[in-house]
Structure 1
Amino acid sequence: MRAPLPTTPAKTPSDQFRHRERAVFIACSLALFFGQGVVFAGLGVALQAMAAEGGWSAGEAGAAFTAMIVAACIAATLPVWSIGRFGGRRTMTAGALLMATGFLVAARAETPALACLATALAGGGFSLLANTPAFTMISGWSGDRAGPRFGLYLTAGALGNAVGPIAAQAATAALGWRGYWYGTAALALLLAAVLHSLLREPPARAANAGAPRQPLRALRSYAYGVMACAMILTQTALMTVFSAAPGHLSTAGWAAGASAAALGAQGMFGAAATAIGGFLLARTGTRAMLIAALAAQAVGLVALALATRPAVTLLFVPAFGLGTALVTLAVTVMLVEHFGRRAGTAGLALIWTLAGAASAGPWAAGLIADATGSYAPALWALAASLLPLTVASALIRRPADPSANAII
C-alpha cells in the first residue's frame, strides 16, 4: 500500500510527492508559455494584420492591446479569492477556457470594438492561469525549493515571449489572422484539458487559506512601493514594445519577418537569463539584480527607438530581453524575502492589479505615433522614466531577517 501524501512539503518528500510536484510545475510553466506567447507577445503581430485589413488606425489597434492589459490587471486579484473557494486546479482551468473564448471572438472581430472585447476576455483568462495562481501552486508544492522553480517558471514565460511573435507572424502569413485565432483557440482548449489532468491542490493550501493582512502594511512600505513601480514600468515597457515594435521597425524599413525575429530574439535572452537567474540569486542578491535589470531595460528601449540594425541587434535584443525578464524574477523573489510566502502571494496579486497602469502604454504610444509619425518619442519617454527608479531600487533596505522568509 502506498504511503499517503504528506500534509506539508517535507525536506525529503516521497517519490509520489515529487512526481506530483513536477507535474504541477510543468503544467504551470506550460500555461505561462502559451499565455505569454499568444496573449502578450504575439498579440501585436496579430493586431497589425487585423488593422491592415480593416483599415484601423494605430490608436485603435493600440486600444485593443490596452483592453487586454486592463482586463488582465482587473482580474489579477481574482485568483486570491477563487483559489480559496474553488482551488487552483479549477481556477487555472477556467482561465484557459476563458482565453479560448476570447480567441474565438477575435477570429470573428471585424471592428476595433469587437477586437477589444476579444482581447479583454483573453487577458482575463491569462490572469486566472498565470503568475498569481502559479505562484501559489508552485510555492505550495515546492516549499523551500521554490526559488529555482520560480526562475525556471519565468523562463517558460520568457520563451513564450521569444516564440510568440515568430509563431504569430508565420501563422498569420500562412493562415490569415482568422486562422491564427482559430488555431490558438483550439490550443487553449487543449491546455485546459492538460491543466485539469495534471494540477492538484498543494498540501499546505488549507493552512494558507484566507486573505492575509500583512500586504496592507507592506503597501505602505518603501520597498513594496519600489517593487510595484518596477513591475508597473516594466510591464508598460514590455506591452508598449510588443504593440509598437512591429509598426515602428516597419517604418524604419524592416521587413515584418525581421521585426518578429528581433522580438523573438530578445525573448530568448530573457529566457536564458531567468533560467540561470533563479540559481544565481543566492550569490548576486535580489536588489543588485533589480538595479542591473532596470538599467539594462532602459538601454534596450533607447536602442529600439533608434531603430538601426546595429542598435536593435546588439543593444535592444540582449539588454531589453535580460532587463524585463530579470525585473520580474527579482521582484517575485523579493516579495517573499521581505513579506513571507503567504503575504507575498497576495502582494504579487495586488502588484499585477496595479500594473493596470501599463495599459496606457500601447494606447499612448499609438496616439503619439498618429500625431508625430513615429513611436520613437514614446520609447524615449519610457527609457527616461526607468532611470530614477533604478536609483530608488538601490535604496531598498535588506529584510530584517532574510533567513526567515528565504526561498532560495
Structure 2
Amino acid sequence: MDIATVIAARTRFFYGWWVVFATAGIIFLCGGTFFYGFGALFNPIVQEFGWSHAAISFAFSLRNEIGGVAAPVVGFLLDRIGARRLLVAGVLLVVIGFVLLSRMNSLWSFYGSVLVISAGMAATGSPVAATVVAHWFRRRRGRALGMLTVGAGVSGIMVLVLEHLISSFGWRSALVLVGLVQLAVALPLALSVRDRPQEMGLQPDGDDAPPSAVPAGQGETPAAGLTTAQAVRTPLFWRLSIAVALAQMGATAVIVHQIPFFTGGLGLSESAAAAFLAATTFVSLVGRVGFGSLTDYIGTRWVLGAAYGVQALGILLFALLEELWQVFLVLPLFAVGFGGGIPARPAFQAQYFGLRSFGSIQGLVITVATLGAVAGPVLAGAMYDWGESYRPAFLLLGAANLVAVPLVAAAGRPQGGG
C-alpha cells in the first residue's frame, strides 16, 4: 500500500480531486507553457533569424501534427498501461525539448526541438488527463473536467512570465529556466497520479462501493461503452472529429497570431499584446468551468455546440477589430467559447461512446482534428505574408468554425453509457 492509498484511506478527502489538481498542474507547466508561451517567442525569433511568419507558424502546426500522429498510440497506451507512466515520460521529454530549443541555431534544429516538446506534450496533455479524470468521476464528471482545464487556462500567464524572462535574460535562458521548473514540480505531480479509483479501493465520485464491487487489487469491472472498432463505424464519430478539427483550426490560428496581430494590426506594444493573450486564457476559465459544469445537467451536444458557436462568432469579430476598446468586447466572446469547448468535448465523447475504449477513441478523434489544428496557423501566416493582413484569414476561419455547430448539435441518442 503506497502513501497515496494510505492518505485516501485515513482522510475524508476524495483523492480524485487531487488527481484533477495534479494533472491540471502538469498541463499548466508542460503543455500550456508552450501552447500559449509560443506567442512570446514569435517576435524574438523573427528578429534574430529573420524567418517568415509562415515558417515559424509551421513549428506550432508541427506540434499539433505530432500530437495528432501520436494520439492513437497515446490512446492505445492509455487503455493498456495507464496514464501515470505516460505522464512521467512526457514530463521528461518536455524538459529535454525546452533545453534543446534554447540551443537551436537553425530552422531545422528549431523544428527538431519542437518535435521533442510535441512528443512530451502528447503524453502530458489534456487528452491524457481527461481520460484519467473521466474514470475518477461519473456524476460530477463535467465539473471535474471543467476544473481540470483550469490548468491550461491559467497557464496563459506564462506568456507574461516568458515575456518578462525574455526581456530580462534573453529567450534562450528563459527557456532553460522554464525547463528546470517543469522538472522540479511537474515530475512529482506525475508520480502522484493514479489511473483509476479502484486502484485505491475507491469508487467514482467517492461513492460507497456497490455490493458487487470487486475488491481493490483483484481487478475491476470493465467500463461500459463502445469499442474503438464500433465507434469508428458510426457517423457520429466522424461528425465529432470534423467538428473538433474546424474548431481547432480557428482557435489555434487566433492563439498563435494574436500577439503579432495586436502589435502589427492595432499598434499595441509587445507587453500589452502579451497581456491580452494572457487575459484570453484567464477569461476562458469562465467557459471551462461554466460549460463543463453545464454538461452535468444539460445534454453535452447542446453545450458543445453552443461553445463552438460562441467561439466562431468571436473569431469572425476579430477580423473587424479596428480600435482598442473593441478588443474588450470581442476577446471575452472568443475566450469563453474557446474555453467551453475544451471540457465539453471529452464529456460529449464519454456520454456518446462510453469509457470502455475512451483513450483509443479520443486518440483517433484528435488525429482527425489535428488536420485543422495544423492548417489553421499556417493558413493564417501564409495569408498574412501574401496580403499583410490577418483579417481575411479570421473571416475564413470563423466561417469554417460555424460549420462545427450543427455537426455536434444534431447528435442523436447517446450510445456509450459511460
- Name the TM-score, length of structure 1 as normaliser: 0.88
Q: 1:164 to 1:237 in 2, by over 3 A?
A: farther
Residue in 2 that maps onto 1:215: 228
3-state SS in 1 of match to 2:379? helix
The gaps in structure 2 that reach 5 residues or longer are 200-218
Q: 1:218 to 1:95 in 2, by over 3 A?
A: same
AA matched with 2:182: A
AA matched with 2:161: A
1:246 has 2:259 as partner: yes
CA contact (8 A) 2:308 2:338 kept: yes
Structure with more helix by fraction: 1
1:159 has 2:154 as partner: yes
CA contact (8 A) 1:151 1:274 kept: yes
Deviations 1:191-242 (A, max 9, x none): 34313441234254764889x9623332232322232122212222222112
**Post-superposition offset of 1:77:** 2.4
Residue in 2 that maps onto 1:45: 40
Q: 1:22 to 1:283 in 2, by over 3 A?
A: closer
Corresponding residue to 2:326 among 284, 296, 311: 311
CA contact (8 A) 1:44 1:65 kept: no
1:348 has 2:343 as partner: no
Deviations 1:159-183 (A, max 9, x none): 22x3132222222222211122111
Q: 1:395 to 1:314 in 2, by over 3 A?
A: same
3-state SS in 2 of match to 1:42? helix
3-state SS in 2 of match to 1:74? helix
Deviations 1:219-271 (A, max 9, x none): 23232223212221222222211221211221121211221122221211211
CA contact (8 A) 1:169 1:257 kept: yes
Residue in 1 that maps onto 2:210: none
Distance 1:392 1:291 in 2: 8
**Post-superposition offset of 1:372:** 0.9
- Name the TM-score, length of structure 2 as normaliser: 0.86
**Post-superposition offset of 1:351:** 1.5
**Post-superposition offset of 1:293:** 1.4
1:295 has 2:295 as partner: no
3-state SS in 1 of match to 2:357? helix
Question: Percent identity at matched positions?
Answer: 24
AA matched with 2:65: V
Pairwise CA RMSD of aligned residues? Answer: 2.7
**Post-superposition offset of 1:14:** 4.6
Distance 2:14 2:361 in 1: 29
Corresponding residue to 2:288 among 255, 274, 292: 274
AA matched with 1:159: V
AA matched with 1:390: V
AA matched with 2:115: A
1:171 has 2:165 as partner: yes
CA contact (8 A) 1:249 1:307 kept: no
1:97 has 2:73 as partner: no
AA matched with 2:412: R
CA contact (8 A) 2:83 2:128 kept: yes
1:186 has 2:180 as partner: yes
Deviations 1:34-64 (A, max 9, x none): 2342121111221321122111111111121
Distance 2:58 2:120 in 1: 18
3-state SS in 1 of match to 2:273? helix
CA contact (8 A) 2:135 2:196 kept: yes
Distance 1:391 1:138 in 2: 28
**Post-superposition offset of 1:128:** 0.3
**Post-superposition offset of 1:30:** 0.4
Distance 1:249 1:43 in 2: 15
Distance 2:16 2:408 in 1: 34
Distance 2:287 2:226 in 1: 33
Residue in 1 that maps onto 2:396: 381
CA contact (8 A) 1:78 1:128 kept: no
Distance 2:344 2:195 in 1: 26
Distance 2:106 2:221 in 1: 45
Distance 1:150 1:311 in 2: 31
Deviations 1:352-400 (A, max 9, x none): 2222211122122221111111122211110011223223333221325
Aligned length: 393
Residue in 1 that maps onto 2:60: 65
Deviations 1:93-130 (A, max 9, x none): 11011011110111011222211111121111111012
Distance 2:118 2:351 in 1: 29
The gaps in structure 1 that reach 5 residues or longer are 7-12
Distance 1:183 1:5 in 2: 34
Distance 2:221 2:51 in 1: 48
Q: 1:196 to 1:104 in 2, by over 3 A?
A: same
AA matched with 1:222: P
Distance 1:297 1:245 in 2: 15
